[in-house]
Amino acid sequence: MTFLALTNVRKVFPNATTPAVEDFNLSVQRGEFVSFLGPSGCGKTTTLRMVAGFEFPTSGSITIDGKDITGVRPNQRNIGMVFQSYALFPNMTVADNIGFGMSVARAPKPEIKQRVTEMLALIKLEQLGGRYPYQLSGGQQQRVALARALALRPQLLLLDEPLSALDAKIRVSLRNEIRTIQRQLGITTIYVTHDQEEALSISDRVVVMNQGLIEQVGPPFEIYNFPKTAFVAQFVGTLNAIAVTVADPAAGAVQLAGQTFHLPAAITQRRAGDGVRVALRPELLSPASTGEGDENRLTGTVENVAFLGAVVRVHLRIGDALLLIDEFNNPHLAVPAIGDTLTVYFHRESCLLLDA
Amino acid sequence: MSQRAGWFAWLIFMIGALYFILPLFGTFVFSLQKVRGSLGFSAYEAAFANPDFLRTFLFSSLIAALTIVTSLALIVPTAFWVNLRMPRWRGVVEFITLLPFVIPAIVLVFGIIRTFGKPVTIFGIPLLPSLLNTELSTNIVLIAAYTVLSLPYMYRATDNGLRAMDVRTLAEAAQSLGASWFTVLMRVILPNLRTALLSGALLTFAIVIGEYTIAAFLARPMFGPYLQLQVRNRAYEAAALTIVAFALTWLAMGVIDLITRQRATPVTGGR
Amino acid sequence: MATTLPAAPRRRFSWNWLGLVPFFVFSFLFIFLPSASLFVDSFQNQNGQFTLDNIAGLFEPPIPASYLLSVQISLTTALMGGLLGFFMAYALTVGNLPRWLRPITLTFAGVASNFAGVPLAFAFIATLGQVGFLTVLLRNAFGWNLYTTGFSLYSFLGLSLAYMYFQFPLMLLIMIPAIEGLKREWREAAENLGASTAQYWLRVGLPVLMPSLLGTMLLLFGNAFGAYATAYGLTGGNLQLITIQLGAQMRGDVLRNPNLGYAMALGMVVIMAVCISGYIWLQRLSERWLK
């Protein structure tokens, strides 16, 4: 059942010409982990802050568990928030930081102490209760911030780009930790990030945003493999976007440097000779034939070969276009050399028309 | 989330503003009252016409200028050196630049008179003759004393400027492009320090122009002691001169503010 | 003269220290020597022999009274100036006064904190003296004669008012950046955890500002303690502050024991040193927290 609902939420800042957030509609289930993903300035943080109560929507409503909280003050919403800069109180120890919410609510001291101990165990920092924030590393500070937000048993957890300030390795381990804790507690969570790998790896659903509007909402698998708009296709994952000419609209045929290949459907609203853009994921192109009759193929010259660790990326020059082809790395891989001629094969369904 | 200021904020502000403005306004009005029954600038005319005014004011300006030059010549290379060549001595140098805060002007001049009023000897070995015997040497001591007073501000301004521009990296980049030390100093470092140095210079000027204690006890014909004399004898002229002194300080501070629009550190001086 | 940067000096001995020689020579001559001479002479009697009598003499009247008076006026103006300056800084930042007021106020504060000395003393005479602007105004407009209430500008109260003129702007200048250093997220995090505005200030805001607040008040204390020109300009020799005593001693041997004068100066320096050390320590603490 719906736990958090944003209905027609719109936010226009004073003295702004365009809305920061517009037409935002979202239903989040209880216990779900939803990410807001998008480039800087797309409105994801603004939306999060409206849920937290630090901004008020210009129009629209926000309800939690059926109750309208649109106008409720932030210190009365019982929503936990983790900030990008951790925002730990520098004059208090870790234990005092975690217990802050309860002490403000005048809970009895033994209760606070017990809860703090529980939280320290949850984030696996049992020994650091007496330390001050400036004595902790970035990753440790962020875990304390998480514990502080969760100590009050909030009904909702909000995280605003919590890992942006951390090293890459810590980011990966910490995001998994956050997800584990969230599953353990079953708490409904909204996670804002601009890192698509982060969003895809830990979310139940992803909301892709651009310039204040929702582009697509769906599980990570769907967002990646079935992007609904050109923006989503280009923002999530690596994409080849090549400029081709329409050859036969009815057959869905397009031409690149004299070579023809087919899209999965007929091209409407275009005529032969028009220029369009087609998207192809690098991992869906392969030097090996798929064996099917109606597969597409393109031939070009290898311009560069890059070893990215688990993946070998070949840069193939075909006319004006540069195609990226990803293959899983293994010691027996036949890696082409620069200057070689190479033919790649791909399904019709792998093609996405960007300018539809 | 309040966006408008409450009554308390405005009340405090008005009290503070009043405190700032009243004495100045009062002095200004007073300065206009030389001719009984009417308001006019005759006090100013009389003050400026007094030859002693010009003499002491010019002398103070000269001393201020020489202090600025001395201070710059002493501080800039030192800050430069500490930042680039001897970072381990930073603590010692900074400590020394804080000493003028610990030694107020009256104690400093006391010590100066004690030390330089007679030949300087260390363990019986004569180092220097008495420096307070001649006009010239006393003036030199005066400039040195003012340089001491300006030390904290000049050093901090220069040091902040050098750190803000990451002088090590700049110098390394310039050197990798073939520049000599001199070129690095003249064409890379000093131009970027202009703002900081100008602030320090203006602040030093403000400090020296109105200074009384050291000037009085070293019996120098500076503007400070002259003003004190006017206070005793010619109140209206003194009021006019006070307004002039204030206007000058305001001018110096205003220019500092103008050129340091981007920076945020406060700049303050003597008491 | 080397032409490369000091990556790793291959020799143990380098001529680098030469570059600091002018500075050290200057400091030695004009800071160290004058202070040392005072220090040394404090422990000598008129015959040049070592003695602790001068230090003991500091505790005989009228000297302790002078120290006490100086401490009193410094404490008073540091506290009053500190509070007024802090609240004004609060009003200008968190208090949401119009933004354009800030640059004007900051410039004015910079001027006012440098305006000490004879001009300031006279400005107060011209305002609150017997025929001062404000005195006359109060008498003519409200029929209230300030001087019949026992008020005198040339008193402890009057001098305190004059000192405040450069004390509270200094506090303002230092506290505005300090208050702005309070991260917005702290306030939001506190709100998010259920705290009201008052609870935020009580539990987070003020404690984090406390080192800055206390440190700056210490600075203000030292500022007032060492002031001479303003005090002399306003009260002549009437108020027996320690700085005035020192000045009198310099003009003529009023103590009939010059070494006692040096001991007085030494006592002053010790007090100032404690203040400045306290200020530096508190600054370091606040920097660590506001990182």
- Determine the average pLDDT of the residues in B151-175: 83
Pairing verdict, β A188-193 and A156-160: parallel
Residues B6-16 pLDDT 10s: 888 889 999 99
Above 50 in pLDDT, residue C211? Answer: yes
Which structural domain range is residue B175 located in?
28-263
Within-domain flag for B76: yes
Residues A291-323 pLDDT 10s: 777 788 899 999 999 998 889 999 999 988 899
- Determine the average pLDDT of the residues in B62-83: 91
Give long-range contacts, CB 8 A cutoff, 24+ apart: C108-111.
Answer: C108/B20, C108/C169, C109/B266, C109/C169, C109/C170, C109/C172, C109/C173, C110/B253, C110/B256, C110/B257, C110/B266, C110/B267, C110/B268, C110/C169, C110/C173, C111/B246, C111/B249, C111/B250, C111/B253
Whether residue B107 and residue C268 make contact (CB cut-off 8 A), yes or no, is yes
Tokens 């195609």 correspond to A323
CA B153 – CA B135 distance, rounded (Å): 28
So where are chain C's domains?
Answer: 63-290
- Determine the average pLDDT of the residues in C105-125: 86
| Chain centroid, CA A293 distance in Å | 37
C216 to chain A nearest CA, in Å? 19
Whether residue C194 and residue A148 make contact (CB cut-off 8 A), yes or no, is no
Structure tokens at C188: 């939001």
Please report residues of B whose CB lies closer than 8 A to that of C27.
96, 99
In what order do the strands lie in the sheet containing A296-307?
A321-328, A311-318, A296-307, A341-346
So what's the pLDDT on residue C221? 94
Tokens 């009904």 correspond to A155
Residues C13-31 pLDDT 10s: 566 677 788 999 999 989 9
Structure tokens at A214: 């929702």
Bridge partners of A324, per DSSP, are: A315
Cβ atoms B135, B218 nearer than 8 A: no
So what's the pLDDT on residue B123? 62
Whether residue A87 and residue C290 make contact (CB cut-off 8 A), yes or no, is no
So what's the pLDDT on residue C115? 81
Whether residue A104 and residue C189 make contact (CB cut-off 8 A), yes or no, is no
Residues A45-96 pLDDT 10s: 999 999 999 999 999 999 999 899 998 888 888 899 999 988 899 889 999 9
Q: Which residue in C236, C7, C249, C231 sits closest to C120, CA to CA?
A: C231
At C58, the pLDDT band (50, 70, 90 cuts) reads: confident
So what's the pLDDT on residue C79? 95
Above 60 in pLDDT, residue C7? Answer: no
For domain C63-290, the question of CATH label 3.40.50.300 is answered with no
Above 70 in pLDDT, residue A271? Answer: yes
Above 90 in pLDDT, residue B186? Answer: no
- Determine the average pLDDT of the residues in B147-152: 92
At C3, the pLDDT band (50, 70, 90 cuts) reads: low
- Determine the average pLDDT of the residues in A2-10: 93
Cβ atoms C167, C81 nearer than 8 A: yes
At C258, the pLDDT band (50, 70, 90 cuts) reads: confident
So what's the pLDDT on residue B172? 79
Q: Which residue in B135, A103, B15 sits closest to C202, CA to CA?
A: A103
Residues A156-214 pLDDT 10s: 999 999 999 899 889 999 999 999 999 999 999 999 999 999 999 999 999 999 999 99
Whether residue A101 and residue C208 make contact (CB cut-off 8 A), yes or no, is no
Closest CA in chain C for residue B97: C27
At B264, the pLDDT band (50, 70, 90 cuts) reads: very low
Above 60 in pLDDT, residue B2? Answer: no
| Chain centroid, CA B108 distance in Å | 16
Above 60 in pLDDT, residue C243? Answer: yes
So what's the pLDDT on residue B126? 67
Above 80 in pLDDT, residue A141? Answer: yes
Above 60 in pLDDT, residue B20? Answer: yes
Please report residues of C whose CB lies closer than 8 A to that of B265.
177
At B32, the pLDDT band (50, 70, 90 cuts) reads: confident
Omega within 30 of 0 (cis) for the link into B266: no
Above 80 in pLDDT, residue B181? Answer: no
- Determine the average pLDDT of the residues in A94-102: 93
Pick from C196, C204, C288: CB nearest A75: C196
Percent of chain A with pLDDT over 70: 99
| Residue-averaged pLDDT of chain B | 83
Q: Tell me, what CATH number does B175's domain have?
A: 1.10.3720.10
For residue A62, give every residue at least 6 positions away whose Cβ sits within 8 Å of its Cβ, in sequence order, or none: A4, A5, A6, A7, A9, A50, A51, A68, A69, A70
- Predicted-complex ipTM score: 0.84
* Prediction pTM value: 0.80
Determine the straight-line distance between the first and last CA of chain C, rounded to whole angstroms: 40
Above 60 in pLDDT, residue B263? Answer: no
Above 70 in pLDDT, residue C6? Answer: no
Most confident of A50-59, B20-29, C41-50: A50-59
Amino acid at site B248: L
Judged by CB atoms within 8 Å, which residues 3-62 of A form the interface with C? 52-54
Q: Which burial class, exposed, middle or buried, applies to C67 when counting CB atoms under 10 A from its CB (0-12, 13-18, 19+)?
A: buried
At A356, the pLDDT band (50, 70, 90 cuts) reads: low
The vertex-A331 CA angle with A330 and A336, nearest 5°, equals: 85
Please report residues of A whose CB lies closer than 8 A to that of C192.
52-53, 74-75, 79-81, 149
So what's the pLDDT on residue A174? 93
CA A32 – CA C190 distance, rounded (Å): 26
At B267, the pLDDT band (50, 70, 90 cuts) reads: very low
- Determine the average pLDDT of the residues in C69-88: 94
SS3 A255: strand
So what's the pLDDT on residue B132? 74
- Determine the average pLDDT of the residues in B46-66: 89
When divided into structural domains, chain B yields a total of 1
CA B132 – CA C250 distance, rounded (Å): 15
CA B235 – CA A86 distance, rounded (Å): 61
- Determine the average pLDDT of the residues in C192-213: 91
Whether residue A89 and residue C191 make contact (CB cut-off 8 A), yes or no, is no
Q: Which burial class, exposed, middle or buried, applies to B227 when counting CB atoms under 10 A from its CB (0-12, 13-18, 19+)?
A: buried
